[in-house]
Amino acid sequence: MAFSLVYLEAVEVPLSATALELIAGAARLGDPVAVTNHAVTPDVVAALGAAGVSGVVVPEGGNEAAQQNFLSFETELLAIALSETEASGVVLPNSVNGKEIAARLGAKLEAGVITDAIDIAADGTVTKSVLAGAYTTQAHVTEGPLIVTLKGNSVEFVAPATAEDPDLLEIPVEDVKPGARIVEVREKAESGRPDLTAARIVVSGGRGVDGDFSQVEELADALGAAVAASRAAVDAGWIGHDLQVGQTGKTVSPQLYVAAGISGAIQHKAGMQTSKVIVAINDDPDSPIFEIADLGIVGDLKNVLPQAAAALRERS
Ligand SMILES: Cc1cc2nc3c(=O)[nH]c(=O)nc-3n(C[C@H](O)[C@H](O)[C@H](O)COP(=O)(O)OP(=O)(O)OC[C@H]3O[C@@H](n4cnc5c(N)ncnc54)[C@H](O)[C@@H]3O)c2cc1C
């Protein structure tokens, strides 16, 4: 049987559900060989063997270089592991880092990359859920080994009847020349507001805020709510990406979602339409956001938001 690689970001005993699902995904393509960017203990190797992994690849001499190299170290490690094992594909987690490594590896090897996979078939056909789950598509790479990032909870892991006794291969990773260097790490200041995905109330602003989130924040603070945003507001640089709601942002389902100056594009709705009560504030009465709103206020958010915040403060 041909080999496949599975990239594991962290491996410890017991193996996480994510690691086991990734191993199961890789096993569809071949005999799985685990690759990780740090040294592993014998009990980790044994646990990987029990999960059906036939080989474990780690960097020789540890991963000190990995800390400085913005994932080019991991990319290089996987590229060498691919050439050593002649694996038919690499399965990575569908995380930010997993996708970044997949993209770098694809560019380096001129190989096809498929992200957001929910299934992998033995012939390399990959199933993806797209447009906020509205469609399922199947894709096949046409160049190089298959590089795929697999979403969590999509492939079931079944423990093999017999454990493997994996070989541990330490690969020297050289010549990783960083194109950039981290010069300072600053902790983000706490906003004091609830975490967006756990908040019971969310006040969200879109392009309609026109660069000024202060009134959105004022209403959020009067309600004890989290602040969120549409992608238009995030792309304009008015607020951080971590607060984006929607298909390519966070999915929220609070008791109350206030959408101010947001038109209600399908990609935004994908992240908030299961909210219990939706209040929309928009100056265009024909805006699609009103189709899903429980309460619609047609008006300029610059008038509506401060009035709502003042009324709430009077009550408290
Ligand atoms: C692959 C893909 C993924 C995407 N992922 C996301 C995602 O995760 N999240 C997301 O949000 N979008 C996403 N988008 C973008 C999405 O299609 C929309 O472009 C975006 O949601 C629009 O943001 P908006 O509603 O803030 O802006 P607009 O659509 O421009 O709407 C602004 C609204 O504000 C109203 N308005 C203007 N001024 C005022 C005022 N003073 N008072 C009251 N109302 C006012 C306008 O009437 C309008 O309805 C994605 C798009 C693609 C193609």
Q: Which domains does the chain have, with CATH numbers?
A: 3-171 (3.40.50.620), 196-315 (3.40.50.1220)
Ligand 1 closest atom vs CA 249: 8
What is d(CA 16, CA 25) in angstroms, rounded to the nearest whole number?
14
Q: Tell the residue nearest (CA) to atom 26 of ligand 1.
A: 206
The mean pLDDT of 251-280, rounded to a whole number, is 95
pLDDT beyond 80 at 65: no
pLDDT on residue 177:
72
- Cα–ligand 1 centroid distance for 208 (angstroms): 8
Residue 240: both structure tokens together: 């951080």
**266 in a labelled binding site:** yes
Which pLDDT belongs to residue 188? 80
Instruction: State the chain's maximal CA–CA distance in angstroms.
Output: 71
Distance, CA 269 to ligand 1 centroid (Å)? 10
How would residue 313 be classed by pLDDT, with cut points 50, 70 and 90?
A: very high
Calculate how far, in angstroms, residue 203's C-alpha sits from the geometric centre of ligand 1.
15
**Helix 72-85 and helix 96-109, axial crossing angle in degrees, nearest 10:** 60
Q: Which has the minimum average pLDDT: 34-43, 91-100, 183-192, 223-232?
A: 183-192
Lowest mean pLDDT among 164-178, 192-206, 208-222: 164-178
Residue 132 confidence (pLDDT) = 62
Q: Which residues pair with 256 in a beta bridge?
A: 201, 277
Q: Which residue has the higher pLDDT, 63 or 39?
A: 39
Which strands, in side-by-side order, build the sheet including 3-7?
Answer: 135-139, 126-130, 113-120, 146-150, 89-93, 3-7, 31-35, 55-59, 167-171
Element (H, E) at 33: strand 31-35
Answer yes or no: are the C-beta atoms of 148 and 120 closer than 8 Å.
yes
Tens digit of pLDDT for each residue in 125-163?
999 987 766 789 999 999 999 999 999 888 999 988 888
- pLDDT at site 139: 96
Nearest residue CA, atom 9 of ligand 1? 246
Atom of ligand 1 nearest to the CA of 281: 43
In the structure, which protein residues have their CB atom closer than 6 angstroms to any atom of ligand 1? 206-208, 230-233, 244-249, 261-263, 265, 267-268, 271, 281-284, 287, 300-302
Å from CA of 115 to ligand 1 middle: 25
For a mutational test of ligand 1's pocket, the pick from 131, 207, 251, 290, i.e. the residue with the most ligand atoms closer than 8 A to its C-beta, is: 207
What are 265-276's pLDDT values in tens digits? 999 999 999 899
The arithmetic mean of pLDDT across residues 302-307, rounded, is: 98
Q: Give pLDDT, residue 182.
A: 76
* Predicted pLDDT of residue 175: 65
How high is the pLDDT of residue 314? 93
267 is in an annotated binding site: yes
